Amino acid sequence: MILGSNMEGYYQQVRGLQYYYITKGHGKQDVIFLHGFLGSHAIFLEGLLETDLIHTHRLILMDLLGHGATEGAELHYRFSAKEQVADLAYFIRHHCQKPVILCGYSMGARLALSLAIQHPNLCRGLVLESGHFGICRETERQSRQSLDAQRADEIKSDYSSFLRYWEDISLFNSPNARMLNSAYRDIQKTQQPIWITNSLLGFGAGTMPCLENRLTRLRMPVLLLVGEDDSKFKAINQRMHLMLPSSYLSIVNGAGHRVHWDAPEAWQKEIELFISLL
C-alpha cells in the first residue's frame, strides 16, 4: 500500500492477529516506533517528516494491539505484557533486520523496555520517551488497577465522554496542549472502544510487571526522553537514569508528557544524535 512521502503501509499476520505498520526509508538498520495508549503510528509522523534517518535506516511505525488499524482481541488477557512482548518479538524475528532500535512513547516505552529485558539479543538500543518501569508497591498497583477498571467501565458506557475526560487530565498539560489536543483527538476518536478497554485492563500501568530490579542488568544504550513540564515522569526517569548502566537523560524544554508532539524538532534531534552514536 503506497502512502506518499516515501511511506508504505502493510498488514502482517502476527500470532493470529493482523498488525498494521508503515515504513519510511530503506536503510540496513531498522528502527521501530511504538505509540502510547489511545494513539497510533500517526502520532510520530510530524516529528519524522524531515529526518535524515531515512537515508541510513528503515523506520517502522507500528499500530499496537487494538489501536489504529491493528486488530484487537475480545479477551483482555491477550493484551497482557507477556502476549504483547511475544507479538513484538515475533514481528522482529520474522520481518525485521535484527537487532533493531526500539523507540517507545509512554505505553509503547513500557512495551519496548519489557521486550529489551526479555529479549536483549533482538534490541540494539532503546529510546524511552516518558517511560516507566512499572508500579512496584502492591498497594499502589491495586489502586491503579481499580482506577483502570473504573476508566474501562467509562469507556464502555460512553467513549466520547471518556475522551473529553482523558484530554483534561493533568498528565497532558503543556504549553501547546490546547492547540495540539485537537489533532490527537482525531486519532483517539477512531479507536474501537472494546479494544481500548481491553488494552487498559490487560496492559495498564497497574498490570504491567514491575521491572525496576532488572534495570541494572540492561546493558544496551538507552536514551531517556522526558518533558521539563512533566514533573511526575521527570522524577521517574531521573531514577531510571541512575539505575541503567548505559543511559542518557534528555529533559526537553517546552514539553510535557508528549515530547514528540510538544517539541517535535527537539525530539527528532535527540533521537538522531543517539542513533548516530550507536
Per-residue cell: 275: 542513533
Geometric angle at alpha carbon 241, from 238 and 244, rounded to 5°: 150
CB-CB contact of 10 with 20 (8 Å): yes
Give exposure, 40-60, as e/b (b: 16+ Cβ within 10 Å).
bbbbbbbbbeebebbeebbbb
**pTM recorded for the entire structure:** 0.95
Tell me which residue range forms the domain holding 92.
2-276
Could you tell me the CA-to-CA distances from 161 to 6, 151, 166, 172, 186 in Å, in that order? 37, 11, 9, 17, 15
With cell 527537539, the residue in question is 266
207 closest CA partner among 131, 142, 115? 142
| CATH number of the domain to which 156 belongs | 3.40.50.1820
Cis previous bond, 221, omega within 30: no
pLDDT along the chain (278 residues), means of 10: 64 97 93 97 90 94 98 96 98 97 98 98 98 96 96 96 89 67 85 97 95 96 97 97 98 94 94 96
Q: What is the pLDDT of residue 2?
A: 39
Q: What is the pLDDT of residue 167?
A: 84
End-to-end CA distance of the chain: 31
Number of domains in the chain: 1
With cell 535524515, the residue in question is 52
